[in-house]
């Protein structure tokens, strides 16, 4: 993401002009947009024209519109963003108050104006404009007959390819059908890796599976690479890292990212940091439940006691349409930072973010046990009943 211009007033009202440069920037843009914001961007509008003879024709014209945002639609697989709203600025082709849908595209600048730019949104702009936050991890999660080729970016886990091949069982004295099907499966996975993984950017490719599937696959891949003199795979052999996972499904990627060998290799990536924070939370919940809280009310009470060491919060909560609810989450984040706590904002498109979402989307690891909070909560709720 490229920041072209930033005009903010003292009361944090103002506008920012940005150019999304990569598909992932569309995800950042989606998280910046809120209902009620004004968005100015170039778009195409179908315009009806009437000639002097009275015949009516229509043609498409490119024009720049300023919309008051009403609905935001994001396609995570195609990384496309459509914003619908009403026109709030005079235009020769579009009447004031008329509805229009702008499709935001990479490499085309837009200007976003808000009445209030909060700390979470401004931090996201900083992250999006920082080139160090680009995708640098790929993963192949596999089991016999099923594989997922994923790209792990700082903000999301993208499934680039799913390979499914029916593999017959080994029969007594005849394994040829099984072996042929397995070879066909491995070949398709190799093709998916070559098609979807950019080795110029990716630092590490995780190959995760149960049992010995990963070893057999890597042996096959590099034997074929030597036979066919595939320089792309041979030159990047050191980037492949074999780790254990319980299955070939996408959710098993979290286990692979938790592996100590992986975390040391990916120590500088945000994805590994998120996974470790969530892992620490689960360990704390298991061994010292009085130091692991989740749910907004419980976490807010812990924050009042200045007990939060690490706050884990999903970016999905900042997309809440109710301004009061959203500002409640922003205040929580600001307060934890003021009290010298660490804040980790998880992406809801990440496997770790999906898991945090199942825990209400907000959780905290505490500096010291705060046992009586849960009791107070129970007493107050029973009084309300």
Q: Helix, strand, coil proportions of the chain in percent (round to 5)?
A: 40, 30, 30
Is the pLDDT reported for residue 173 higher than 80?
no
Is the pLDDT reported for residue 377 higher than 70?
no
* Choice among 45-59, 66-80, 299-313, 363-377 with the minimum mean pLDDT: 363-377
CB atoms within 10 A of CB 113: 17
Give the residue from 198, 214, 287 showing the smallest Cα distance to 256.
214
Of 92, 110, 129, the residue at which a domain comes to its end is 129
Alpha-carbon span 298 to 189, nearest angstrom: 46
Of 251, 268, 285, the residue at which a domain comes to its end is 268
Give the residue from 220, 192, 193 showing the smallest Cα distance to 205.
193
DSSP assignment of 69-87, as one string? EEEEEEETTTTEEEEEEEE
Alpha-carbon span 74 to 72, nearest angstrom: 7
SS3 294: strand
Is the pLDDT reported for residue 190 higher than 50?
yes
The reported pLDDT for the residue numbered 154 is 67
CB atoms within 10 A of CB 35: 13
Phi, psi for 293 (deg, rounded to 5): -115, 145
Q: Are residues 147 and 215 in the same domain?
A: yes
Alpha-carbon span 185 to 144, nearest angstrom: 8
Of 129, 164, 180, the residue at which a domain comes to its end is 129
SS3 164: strand
User: For the domain that residue 188 is a member of, what is the CATH number?
Assistant: 3.30.420.60
The reported pLDDT for the residue numbered 380 is 47
The reported pLDDT for the residue numbered 87 is 94
User: For the domain that residue 50 is a member of, what is the CATH number?
Assistant: 2.30.30.870
pLDDT in tens, 35-78: 999 999 999 988 877 777 777 888 889 899 999 999 999 887 77
Length of the chain: 385
User: Average pLDDT, stretch 182-198?
Assistant: 92
Is the pLDDT reported for residue 138 higher than 70?
yes
The reported pLDDT for the residue numbered 382 is 41
As a dihedral over the C-alpha atoms of residue 67, residue 69, residue 71, residue 72, rounded to 10 degrees, the angle is: 90
Print the domain residue range for 226.
136-268
SS3 215: helix
Give the residue from 32, 36, 196, 12 showing the smallest Cα distance to 129.
32
What are the CA-CA distances from residue 85 to residues 34, 67, 73 (Å)? Answer: 11, 5, 12
Alpha-carbon span 184 to 220, nearest angstrom: 11
Share of the chain above pLDDT 70, in %: 91
Q: Are residues 45 and 30 in the same domain?
A: yes
Number of domains in the chain: 3
Q: Are residues 181 and 225 in the same domain?
A: yes
Q: Are residues 55 and 119 in the same domain?
A: yes
Alpha-carbon span 208 to 213, nearest angstrom: 9
User: For the domain that residue 318 is a member of, what is the CATH number?
Assistant: 3.30.1330.30
Alpha-carbon span 350 to 274, nearest angstrom: 9
Is the pLDDT reported for residue 289 higher than 60?
yes
SS3 368: coil
Is the pLDDT reported for residue 379 higher than 80?
no
Mean pLDDT, the chain, rounded, equals 86
What's the pLDDT band for 135 if we cut at 50, 70, 90? Answer: low
Give the residue from 270, 128, 273, 151 showing the smallest Cα distance to 201.
151
């Amino acid at each position: 993401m490229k920041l072209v211009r930033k005009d903010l007033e003292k009361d944090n009202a103002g506008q920012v002009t940005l150019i999304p440069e990569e598909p992932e920037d569309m995800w950042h843009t989606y998280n910046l947009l809120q209902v009620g914001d004004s968005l100015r961007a170039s778009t195409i509008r179908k315009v009806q024209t009437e000639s002097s003879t009275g015949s009516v024709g229509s043609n498409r014209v490119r024009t720049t519109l300023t919309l008051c945002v009403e609905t935001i639609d994001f396609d995570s697989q195609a990384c496309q963003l459509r914003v619908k709203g009403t026109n709030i600025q005079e235009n020769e082709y579009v009447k004031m108050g008329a509805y229009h849908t702008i499709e935001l595209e990479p490499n085309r600048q837009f200007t976003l104006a808000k009445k209030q730019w909060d700390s979470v949104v401004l931090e996201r702009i900083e992250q999006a404009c920082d080139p160090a936050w680009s995708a640098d991890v790929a993963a192949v999660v596999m089991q016999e007959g099923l594989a997922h080729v994923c790209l792990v970016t700082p903000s999301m886990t993208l499934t680039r390819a799913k390979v499914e091949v029916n593999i017959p069982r080994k029969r007594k004295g005849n394994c040829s059908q099984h072996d042929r099907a397995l070879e066909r499966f491995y070949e398709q996975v190799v093709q998916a890796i070559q098609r979807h993984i950019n080795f110029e950017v990716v630092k590490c490719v995780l190959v995760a599976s149960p049992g010995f599937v990963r070893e057999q696959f890597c042996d096959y891949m590099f034997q074929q690479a030597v036979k066919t003199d595939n320089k792309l795979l041979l030159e990047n052999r050191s980037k492949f890292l074999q780790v254990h996972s319980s299955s070939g499904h996408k959710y098993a990627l979290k286990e692979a990212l938790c592996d100590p060998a992986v975390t040391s290799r990916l120590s500088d990536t945000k994805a590994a940091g998120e996974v470790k924070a969530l892992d620490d939370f689960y360990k704390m919940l298991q061994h010292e439940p009085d130091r692991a809280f989740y749910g907004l009310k419980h976490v807010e009470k812990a924050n009042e006691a200045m007990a939060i060491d690490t706050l884990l919060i999903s970016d999905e909560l900042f997309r809440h349409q109710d301004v009061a609810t959203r500002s409640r989450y922003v205040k929580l984040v600001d307060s934890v930072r003021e009290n010298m706590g660490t804040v980790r904002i998880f992406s809801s498109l990440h496997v770790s973010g999906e898991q945090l979402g199942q825990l209400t989307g907000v959780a905290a690891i505490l500096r010291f046990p705060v046992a009586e909070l849960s009791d107070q909560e129970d007493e107050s709720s029973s009084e309300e009943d």
